[in-house]
Structure 1
């Protein structure tokens, strides 16, 4: 396949390109950044040795995050240079033959974490995969993380720190999930604004369908078919 790259300004292999097109039969790179006309990165393709930092407001908000993970992928950046989602994937194989494999495609709320995710996890044949929707608070994630670090470094007791951090992250909940669990169930779960499962529709590993309605404590209040 012949690839065609057109850009106003940029570099490939040290060669400066300006207002021209060039054709290539093959390009090999450890990282490839797509930038706007001002040089701001809009999209980054990377291998496991060139994982981009988690940028927000021009800062790495999670220093070291993902840097030692066996993943490659593609990262999205918005007009302000914030990471706003992406595709990551990878795997590890152990000496005993066991393995872990994963993939995730996410889209982030503005100045926050993911609100849409398609994910796959495989732990030596125990597989789960599906599609999730999340609620995020109207708070700048960079400021939330800075406050969390302040709490961790404070003179509060461990119990007080845990309580304060939990309050800090209130509103971060998964609201819906559709997918398959390691035990073979295919399900749709709908959660309330606290993250509690309230409706669960399942076709289990024996192809038996059921629908359950739950209270805030997770107790089944009604089900179809009834027992």
Structure 2
């Protein structure tokens, strides 16, 4: 009987210790860790979300980069460079910063997207090596129509691809571009691949109408052009 009582006491002690350890483990596992500090962390992708789970930003390597979203719907998988992608509360991608560089060239682009459609502003740098050697960098602006959203463009693209007619596909997108549905470049300030540094303004049809720049020989130019690209006034 005495031996049995001893074993019962030991069992009670064991049970009490086990309960305490489990309680500590649960407390440590679920306590608020918002104040933790890390000296270094290696990660392939980080998703920044609101309390309700709404995605607001993705920081990712190339392999795990987000393809983009339209109205909370994931776009089709596509290759994108490493960087940061931003999302608004409407569930659309609204800009980002991507970059890369290898033996063939280098580049970095920071984009700001118009609501419901694609980029309207980019701070960009690109450089090609080898035979295509050249360097372009600066600020670029576009105009994009309000009546032809990115979601609509994706639907048109999907419908055309289902026809399996490359010639028709190319012709259709050429017409969309001609109609201004794919956006018009309006402004560039920076350095061109020809070594010109300056300001280049385009009209609503995307035609260059004013150039103010210094060429690669350090000559200054102020040129007004007509809709066909002919210089109508030049001040040196």
TM-score exceeds 0.5: yes
Preserved CA contact (<8 Å) 2:68 2:74: yes
Alpha-carbon distance in structure 2 between the residues aligned to 1:184 and 1:156: 40
**Structure 1: unaligned runs, 5 residues or longer:** 1-14, 94-98
Q: What secondary structure is seen at the aligned counterpart in 2 of 1:182?
A: coil
**Structure 2: unaligned runs, 5 residues or longer:** 1-28
Q: What secondary structure is seen at the aligned counterpart in 1 of 2:205?
A: coil
Matched with 1:112 is 117
Deviation string for 1:199-219 (max 9, x for gaps)? 011101111111111111111
Alpha-carbon distance in structure 2 between the residues aligned to 1:103 and 1:199: 27
With normalisation by structure 2, the TM-score equals 0.78
Radius of gyration: which is bigger?
2
Pick the aligned partner of 2:89 from 79, 84, 104. 79
Preserved CA contact (<8 Å) 2:125 2:137: yes
Q: How many residues align?
A: 201
Relative to its length, the structure with more helix (as a share) is 2
Pick the aligned partner of 1:153 from 148, 162, 173. 162
Matched with 1:136 is 144
Q: 1:80 to 1:157 in 2, by over 3 A?
A: closer
Q: 1:16 to 1:214 in 2, by over 3 A?
A: farther
Pick the aligned partner of 2:52 from 17, 38, 47. 38
Pick the aligned partner of 2:79 from 53, 57, 66. 66
Q: 1:181 to 1:35 in 2, by over 3 A?
A: same
Q: 1:19 to 1:155 in 2, by over 3 A?
A: closer
- Structural mapping, 1:1-227, within 5 Å: 18=32, 20-61=34-75, 63-67=76-80, 71-93=81-103, 99-124=104-129, 126-138=134-146, 139-154=148-163, 158=167, 161-169=169-177, 170-171=179-180, 172-225=183-236
